[in-house]
């Protein structure tokens, strides 16, 4: 009995949780990890959070050279102005259309390309394909825009081919109906390889035993992709889709649009980001441009929240 009591006491002591490490000791122990977090933390504080204070000039009248928080309170004056501006609604419509067209075309193509890369067994050939597909992402947008202008110019290779067949040269850059196609095609070409990285990382975590079991059951490669690979990377797909939907009204395409558009293509090319640039830095209407930018941010936040809630109900996963 005494031995039994002693063993029970020992097991009770061993079952106790170890004492929690103090916060200061934890920081000293893992200071190298926290120091690595310092640079991105400072970046977001300085360049993301502190500038948010400038949104106050959307409700105040700002003049160049005066207080950075504006001179006098104007309330919703600038919001009412852009709501009544037809050019703003044109830019709003173009932003949604261009980003939505790019999303519905590039998103499935990226997933399909990642699945194809995952099936390549020759490591050397796979690395070559990945490197070639990654390269356009690292080309400056200025260079990409210059390449597009040269290729699509009236004396470029595409028009030379058209005229050799007896057709007339097409001024692709100057025609508004061609801008969405140029926007989507160049975006897919430049981001295809880079956007597959997260999918390939998710596929690398799938257990090979699942593929071996499916192979023994006689499943084809296509069936393995449909019933094993895609369900396994579904959380990654859902997360990236939510982030992309949250950017449908975003300004991520500003550089490309700014370098490719011109007054003749404003009808389909002018987006909120370029509109804000012209109103703010171009015309000096800083308070008006800030109001438009703040409205754009609220729309993005709404889209992100809705997409996240829908994903949690449908796919059972979300950002938060």
Q: Which domain holds residue 184?
A: 74-139+176-314
In a domain, 167, yes or no: no
The pLDDT value given to residue 6: 47
**Structural domain total, the chain:** 1
Report the alpha-carbon distance of residue 246 to residue 302 in Å, rounded. Answer: 8
Q: What is the CATH number of the domain that holds 85?
A: 1.10.3720.10
Instruction: Give a yes or no: residue 152 inside a domain.
Output: no
| 292 burial type by CB count under 10 A (0-12 exposed, 13-18 middle, 19+ buried) | buried
pTM listed for this prediction: 0.83
The reply to whether 29 falls in a domain is: no
pLDDT in tens, 244-300: 888 888 767 889 999 999 999 999 999 999 999 999 888 889 999 999 999 998 998
Residue 88, CB-side half-sphere exposure with 13 Å CA sphere: 17
Alpha-carbon gap, residue 95 to 91, rounded angstroms: 6
Tell me, yes or no, whether 169 lies in a domain.
no
Question: Within the chain, what is the greatest distance between any pair of CA atoms?
Answer: 105
56-101 confidence digits (pLDDT tens): 999 999 887 777 787 888 889 999 999 999 999 999 999 999 999 9
The verdict on residue 5 lying in a domain is no
Is residue 226 one of the residues assigned to a domain?
A: yes
Residue 199 within any structural domain of the chain: yes
Whether 38 is in a domain gets the answer no
């Amino acid at each position: 009995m005494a031995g039994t009591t002693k063993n029970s006491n020992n097991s009770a002591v061993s079952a106790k949780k170890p004492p929690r490490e103090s916060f200061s000791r934890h920081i000293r122990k893992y200071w190298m990890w926290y120091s690595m977090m310092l640079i991105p933390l400072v970046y977001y504080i300085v360049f993301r959070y502190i500038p948010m204070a400038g949104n106050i000039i959307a409700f105040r009248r700002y003049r160049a050279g005066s207080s950075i928080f504006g001179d006098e309170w104007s309330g919703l004056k600038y919001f009412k102005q852009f709501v009544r501006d037809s050019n703003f609604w044109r830019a709003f419509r173009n932003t949604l259309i261009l980003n939505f067209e790019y999303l519905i075309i590039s998103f499935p193509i990226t997933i399909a390309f990642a699945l194809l890369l995952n099936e390549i067994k020759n490591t050397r050939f796979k690395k070559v394909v990945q490197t070639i597909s990654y390269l356009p992402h690292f080309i400056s947008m200025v260079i990409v825009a210059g390449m597009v202008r040269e290729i699509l110019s009236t004396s470029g290779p595409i028009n030379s081919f058209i005229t050799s067949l007896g057709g007339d040269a097409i001024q692709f850059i100057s025609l508004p109906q061609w801008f969405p196609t140029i926007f989507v095609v160049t975006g897919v070409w430049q981001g295809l390889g880079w956007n597959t990285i997260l999918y390939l990382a998710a596929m690398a975590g799938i257990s090979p035993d699942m593929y071996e079991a499916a192979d023994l059951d006689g499943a084809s490669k296509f069936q393995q992709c449909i019933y094993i690979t895609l369900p396994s990377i579904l959380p990654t797909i859902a997360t990236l889709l939510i982030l992309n939907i949250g950017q449908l009204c975003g300004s991520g395409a500003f550089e490309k649009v700014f370098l490719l558009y011109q007054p003749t293509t404003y009808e389909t090319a002018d987006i909120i980001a370029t509109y804000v640039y012209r109103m703010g830095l171009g015309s000096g209407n800083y308070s008006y441009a800030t109001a438009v930018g703040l409205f754009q941010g609220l729309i993005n936040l709404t889209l992100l929240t809705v997409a996240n809630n829908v994903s949690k109900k449908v796919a059972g996963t979300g950002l938060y």
